[in-house]
Amino acid sequence: MQRKLWNNDKKRSAEKTERVNGAPVYTAVYKVNHSDELLEFLLRKCNTSRNNVKALLARRQVLVNGSVVTQYNFMLAKDDEVKLSRRPVKEGAPVTQPKDKKTVVPRMRFTVKPVYEDGDFVAIDKPAGLLSVENDKQTECAYGYMLKYLQSKDKTSRPFILHRIDKETSGVLVFAKNIKLHSMLKMHWNEQVQTREYYAVVEGVFEEKSGTLVNYLKENATNLVYATGDPTGQKAITHYEVVQENAQYSLLRVKIDTGRKNQIRVQMKAQGHPVVGDGKYGATKDPLGRLGLHASKLEFIHPVSKELITITAPVPSAFRELF
């Protein structure tokens, strides 16, 4: 019966097989389209018995957003990713690894603690270098840390992803604690968010010490985002103000009206002032040893109480020490 399950997975899923030393690791990868219980979701996708699915869960062969889940009634949300592993996954062990073993990064390298928590939301000051959610190359992510944190207090709880920030960007990252609020916010996130504030260290000195940048953003064949005047792209609006400067760098307070992929990084490059440490988008200097971008404040309207939720993360001291 187990062999039948794997065969059905291969036929019925949007399969994505990854290999370690030539051996398959994932037998199936599923994208969640709407909220559902994990057991019921897998029963439909795998076309096998309830006992077989429960066995997969008990043997730690089911992952949600890169983290092992054994709870059969674990609630899934839209855009979650469910993977089946051919082998049981040990606690804290990565499911995949790059071909070059020397580049393998162990999991749980960071100390991640909430900077805000109430009955509905939990937020962290995400360290630079940590993914918001897993990707194909790395399973260590902020979601995994928050799942472990919430389940240390209540085994039935989980975080729900509201937004993401780039791996190399630090700062405020917020999760909902229940699926109802997650769904309500995800449907109208841009309308509910009142403030997205960042601090950026960029190369050079601005002639205009404050201003508003308006561009249209597109992606090329290599997934590199670029700014254009072509209105068929995604409109990006960024407001900036120079807070400090010296002969080489400027520290900016930035507020964005739109949350486009790599928005600040791309628009600063287009201005001739790339974010320091951002070799992907034209930076030639790396005085911080990291990307010079930090998400300092996020404000949004609670969809039920209509209260304004304000969450902040202090600007890294290294940013100001440059000046």
Q: Which of 138-142, 218-222, 265-269 has the lowest mean pLDDT?
A: 138-142
Nearest to 172 by CA among 302, 306, 299, 322: 299
pLDDT of 322 strictly over 60: yes
At residue 2 the predicted structure's pLDDT band, cuts being 50, 70 and 90, is: very low
Closest C-alpha among 150, 111, 103, 149 to residue 130: 111
Mean pLDDT, rounded, of the chain: 87
Asked if pLDDT for residue 19 goes beyond 60, the answer is no
Q: What per-residue confidence (pLDDT) applies to 138?
A: 79
Section 260-271 average pLDDT: 96
What is the band of 75 on the pLDDT scale with cuts at 50, 70, 90?
very high
Minimum mean pLDDT range among 6-20, 124-138, 259-273, 276-290 = 6-20
CA dist., res. 68 & res. 60, Å (int): 6
Catalytically active residues, by annotation: 166
Averaged pLDDT for residues 152-160: 92
- CA nearest to 70, candidates 53, 93, 87: 53
pLDDT tens for 228-257 read 999 999 999 999 999 999 999 999 999 999
pLDDT greater at residue 102 or residue 270: 270
Q: Confidence class of residue 3 from pLDDT cuts 50, 70 and 90? A: very low
- Mean pLDDT over 3-8 rounds to 45
State the sign of the Cα–Cα–Cα–Cα dihedral 95, 98, 99, 104.
negative
- pLDDT of 188: 87
- Tally of helices (H runs) and strands (E runs) in the chain: 8, 19
pLDDT at site 95: 43
pLDDT of residue 117: 96
Cα–Cα distance between 270 and 268 in angstroms, integer? 5
pLDDT at 39 over 80: yes
Whole-number pLDDT of residue 190:
85
Same fold across 2-85 and 110-187: no
What is the per-residue pLDDT for 96?
42
- Of 86-90, 130-134, 189-193, 255-259, least confident by mean pLDDT is 86-90
Closest CA to 237 of 218, 252, 259, 220: 259
Where are the chain's structural domains? 2-85, 110-187, 189-321
Average pLDDT over residues 78-105: 64
For residue 91, the model assigns a pLDDT of 60
The CA R_g of the chain, rounded to the nearest whole Å, is 21
Q: Which fold has domain 189-321?
A: Pseudouridine synthase (3.30.2350)
Highest mean pLDDT among 111-115, 223-227, 263-267: 263-267
Q: Which CATH architecture has domain 2-85?
A: Roll (3.10)
Say if residue 37's pLDDT is above 60. Answer: yes
CATH number of 110-187: 3.30.2350.10
* Percent of the chain whose pLDDT exceeds 70: 87
